[in-house]
Homo-oligomer: A and B are copies of this chain.
Amino acid sequence: MANNDKGRVFGHIPGTTVGQIFKDRAALAKAGIHKPNQAGISGSGKEGADSIVLSGGYEDDEDRGDEIIYTGAGGQDPGTKKQNADQTLDGKNLALARSHLEGYPVRVSRSLKHKDPKSTEKGYEYSGLYKVDDYWQEKGRSGFYVWRYRLIACDEQPIQVAPNEPSNGYTEARRVQTTVQRIVRDTKIAKHVKLLHNYQCQVCGTSLETSAGLYAEAAHIKPLGQPHNGPDVESNILCLCPNHHVLFDNGGFTIDDELKLIGIEGELKTVKKHKIEKKFIQYHREHYQVRS
């Protein structure tokens, strides 16, 4: 890993193309697409993850093409490859979480066997760049906790180069076109929750005063989208400042059934007209509270 730490490259590797086939892991490594010879995740907790390989090794992985639910590393018996312990959020698993937090692109490759279990070929296809959209933990089929990551394909190509500042030698900032899949939220529901709280954060009471008025964010407790499929309803939404939204979505704190905060001091501020359903909070605790 020390080797990988030097010059870890995030994004496409010049000279390679999406859809390119590599005959084995060594060829993938040599091309710079996925450097580790064994591990499914390339990266470190400090730097983030730059690439993964889908090889069909984890029973809990789900691959829908543009959307992948990927399972973290560890907790497997080296012999039987069966889960026999909870996975922990460190090393490679932390690396993927870090890439989520920083918005780094992750190169994804798939073994041909993963793409078609009947395949007798041993090659790997480079599938392009994905973003880590979310990370959480859940009980895998084995009954042990695994870390899970939703990766969403991002398709990028440069379409315009912005002019440089005059004669300054600065790096150019490129403008690219990106195709992303995203959940459409009902802005009316979100707005109503924010109005009920007068745009004050339910954790710290902060209300951001911009020149366009007060600002707060609607945070879903049980997230929208697969596999969580939380509903877009007021009882599943908190009114949070951006800081507490980041913390809530990324294991910084969660909430107990008495609305006391876990992970940070205090308790959730509530208003009568905004009821929060406990089952959503329980879901959040189960999936986002970091167990030591």
Residue numbers of A with Cβ under 8 A of B are 10, 45-46, 89, 94, 97-98, 100-104, 135, 156, 159-160, 162-165, 168, 170-187, 189, 191, 206, 208-213, 215, 224-226, 229-233, 241-243, 245-247, 250-252, 288, 290
Contact = CB atoms under 8 A, between A and B. Distances in A.
17 contacts: A89-B212, A98-B212, A102-B191, A162-B226, A164-B231, A171-B186, A171-B189, A171-B232, A171-B233, A173-B184, A174-B184, A175-B183, A176-B181, A208-B243, A209-B247, A215-B250, A242-B242
A159 B177 contact: no
A183 to B, nearest CB: 5
Nearest 9 pairs of A and B residues by beta carbon: A211-B251, A242-B242, A97-B212, A210-B250, A170-B231, A173-B224, A101-B212, A211-B290, A174-B184
Contacts of A181: 159-160, 175-178
B180 A180 contact: yes
B165 A175 contact: no
Contacts of A104: 187
Given A101-B215, A184-B176, A250-B215, A170 B232 contact: yes
A17 B261 CA distance: 47
B246 A215 contact: yes
B176 A178 contact: no
Contact of A176 (B97, B101, B182): B182
Contacts of A182: 175-176, 178
Contacts of A213: 45-46, 94, 98, 101
Contacts of A224: 162, 173
A103 B194 CA distance: 14
A246 B241 CA distance: 10
A255 B142 CA distance: 55
A246 B242 contact: yes
